[in-house]
Structure 1
Amino acid sequence: MMSHMKLGVFGSAFDPPTLGHLDVLRQAAICHDHILLVPSAFHAFDKKPLPFSLRLQMLQCFIDEADAGCSLEVCNLEAELLEQNPGKPVYTYDLMEALTSKYKGKADVSFIRGPDNARPETWSRFYKSKEIEEKWPIFTAIERVAIRSSDVRKILESSKVADDLQQGLNMLLPSVQAFIMNNNLYQTGNL
């Protein structure tokens, strides 16, 4: 890695990674040389996503196909931090501290925030949100592609008709679609 690369950190459950995530990455790529995608290992807001290993695999499919405008890398640091404190959420502040330490002298680290987390009612729930703002630059994406993972999951979980299923899958990159279908993820009924 070159000295003082601009490194962005984009955390999410990525359950599943969608075209909405890709749009955030494309916006952030303008200001970053490299972006780490960090799936949450233990969500602070009590969400119950798919197992971490499946989300890592899905995210790898996503970045293998995503054309974001800068290099992307899946980072499983949250799982390592969780191992150090089992059963406790890994907070964004702690993740950013660990990454800043890891890349000290090699990169300028900034936080990439999607439009959902930028909402004041959501951002205020982040542990040490004010300290994050003071300590790291924050790139906040605007909402240009209104696709949420929760919407995709609802469609895939409830779809009884092939057209509905295709609508949900169209919110994803083809490689992620294939991974979901091949592993029968989110779908409760037989298709």
Structure 2
Amino acid sequence: MSEHNLIEAILAAYDKDEALAELLNRMPVNRTLRKGQILCKDTDRPQAFFVHNGTVKGFYYDENGRERVTRFWRDRQIILLTNAQQDDIATADHLQALECARLSVFTQATALRLGLTQLQTARFAARILLLDRNLGELKAHLCAMPARQAYAEFQHHFFAYKLPLRDTASFLGITPQTLSEIRKK
């Protein structure tokens, strides 16, 4: 899953600018989440977070009150919380730490403090959108596969050993019982 590694992505986008990578690593931690702690989206505007360390899931509650997992993130990745372009598409509006996690909020002001130009900030924002779109496409691809094949592919792309069975099943669109049977075999 190295394509989703924030530092590698930014270095590729900015001609291996090591100074920028150093700046991102020094971003102040704005949020520290304990295992199980939930952070809710508090605005209609997109929000971006940099995960210094930890594992975090993104989810929403459907019309029946069931939790639907949409994404997983870990160390040195970017979280993007934003509304869908269409009203009938649900997107993650909650984050939950699956283990202790340290996050930095990435805003326009943060970009200015890091010394990024407007062009660099625009490239960075485009990169964030591309990475999130790629994660969405991967999820759609996995959900379209037969359950056993989807889980095998999921293990290849994600850090499955750190993720609860229920969350993995929700992400793949299968029942926890089905996933449990797949894991046994």
So what's the TM-score if we normalise by structure 2? Answer: 0.41
So what's the TM-score if we normalise by structure 1? Answer: 0.40
Q: Which structure: greater strand fraction?
A: 2
The structure, 1 or 2, with the larger RCO (C-alpha pairs under 8 Å, 6+ apart) is: 1
